[in-house]
Structure 1
Amino acid sequence: MAGAGMKDIKRRIKSVESTMQITKAMELVSSSKLRRAKEKVEKSRPYFNILQETIQKILDNTKSLKSAYTQEREVKHSLYIVIAGDRGLAGGYNANIIKASLAEMEGKNPKIIPIGRKASEYFGKRGYDVAEDYLNVAESLDFIDAALITSLADELYRKGQVDEVYVCYTEFVSALTQTPKIMKLLPLQLQANPADIISSLEFEPSPEEVFDKIIPRYLEGIVYSTIVDAFASEQGARRTAMESASDNASDMIDSLSLLYNRARQASITQEITEIVGGAEAIK
């Protein structure tokens, strides 16, 4: 009876050890991907900052800028670009961003552009109006992917099919902390700063045309950076989840090993007792 119990415990220990090997491997992979994602964020920032400075200069040096990108409308339809992961096993990463997105959409008539398999599955299965989904783009993201996503949002906005555009993503704070964020993309909410006006600054052919040409590039930069930020957050969350799972597996192995040793000692004690009892019976 004790032997059968020991076999079960030993089989369980081997099973947990196999699981721990997988979680350790996933933790290492996530750490590597996280490092590359952080490098991508750092490389994209100078481009994004220059675009933002140029837009601000146009606003600061134009008295009455008229653009479809800044005009407030009556909101009838809203577009949400929701960035989640393509895989699970990342703690509460996917659930948290979807929960934050749903809270922002409440009471509105939303159209969705899901990025990532988890977002696509969630909104697709629940009958939401999905404009187009993008799967498996975050890990190998380049500016062409960001341009395709942005051009769809831009087209829907300029045609009047949506009246405002938001991006829902997870901000990477650290490997241990990731925060769901909702950012309004359109209409733009930039404010002019009169103190920075440069009277000699001119834009050709006109400030409006330069502004309308730059804004799509600016939006591409935002979409690109938010996807990269979200991917870094996903890897950080997965790394933390796999590290926790590995620690739990190690604790479980220690507990099972102690249980196995106790069962083994009990088995040995029983065998000794049986031998001594048999010897006494022979006498």
Structure 2
Amino acid sequence: LVMAADKGLAGAYSSNALKKAMTLVEDKSNTQIVTVGRKARDFFKNRSFDIISQRVGISERPKATHAQKIARTLISAFESGEIKEVYMVYTRFVSAITCVPEVVKLLPFTAEAGEGHAQAPYIYEPNAEEVLGALLPQYLFTTIYAALLQSAASELSSRMNAMSNATDNAGELIGKLDLYYNKVRQAGITNEINEIVGGAEALK
């Protein structure tokens, strides 16, 4: 599951996420892709990957229903044996100027015991299988939805920074061009004055 932007002008946001995703690919023929964002879809489509599901037009404003549909797609493929492992690549929002692409293993789910604590003998009703069968899809959904929101915040932040930098660069360029224009204009005026003075001297 790879999350990137639908549109450009967001700096290195999409390219960083896609580079991170490619580090997971050992054998393209044994890899299936679920994409979020037009950039991710086009990237893997152009490289002839097997895209089993794609979501476009949602990267900036993801909804819970989007995460639910993605989760159902992944669970269905996993339970059918079509896929053995599921990894998610998204961009974690750290601050307005820092966003970090990360990888999370979604399936198979493994619970890690806390360090230094013995596991308590829990009693499940009606049974552990039914309880976990209900909870794990919810866990997957909330994890994906949180990642969609993190990625959306990262995308918008990256776009804001890219546009701010572009505005600053444009301002600097305008300043340089104004200075160049004034120099050329001054040189033109000086040449005209010299021609007038030269003509007047010639008439004497």
Could you tell me how far apart the structure 2 residues matched to 1:134 and 1:270 are?
63
Partner of 2:20: 100
Bigger relative CO (Cα 8 Å, ≥ 6 apart): 1
* AA in 2 matched with 1:237: S
Could you tell me how far apart the structure 1 residues matched to 2:147 and 2:25 are?
19
1:274 corresponds to 2:195? yes
Partner of 1:11: none
- Equivalent pairs counted in the alignment come to 202
Higher percent of residues as helix: 1
Question: Which of 149, 169, 174 is matched with 1:228 structurally?
Answer: 149
What is the root-mean-square deviation in Å for CA atoms of aligned residues? 1.5
Partner of 2:92: 171
Task: Extract unaligned runs of 5+ from structure 1.
Answer: 1-80
3-state SS of the aligned residue for 1:140?
Answer: coil
Question: Which of 39, 43, 61 is matched with 1:122 structurally?
Answer: 43
> CA deviation digits over 1:37-70, x for unaligned, max 9?
xxxxxxxxxxxxxxxxxxxxxxxxxxxxxxxxxx
Identical aligned residues as a percent: 40
Of stretches 148-157 and 183-192 in structure 1, the one that deviates more from structure 2 is 183-192
Task: Extract unaligned runs of 5+ from structure 2.
Answer: none
Deviation of 1:189 (Å): 2.3
Q: Is the 8 A contact 2:61 2:152 kept in 1?
A: no
Alignment of 1:231-270 (within 5 A): 231-270=152-191
Deviation of 1:141 (Å): 1.8
> CA deviation digits over 1:123-167, x for unaligned, max 9?
112210110100012333221111000000000001100000011
1:195 corresponds to 2:117? yes
Deviation of 1:277 (Å): 1.1
Partner of 1:110: 31
3-state SS of the aligned residue for 1:233?
Answer: helix
Higher percent of residues as strand: 2
Question: Which of 46, 53, 72 is matched with 1:132 structurally?
Answer: 53
Could you tell me how far apart the structure 2 residues matched to 1:126 and 1:107 are?
13
* AA in 2 matched with 1:195: H
3-state SS of the aligned residue for 2:2?
Answer: strand
* AA in 1 matched with 2:66: D
Deviation of 1:198 (Å): 5.2
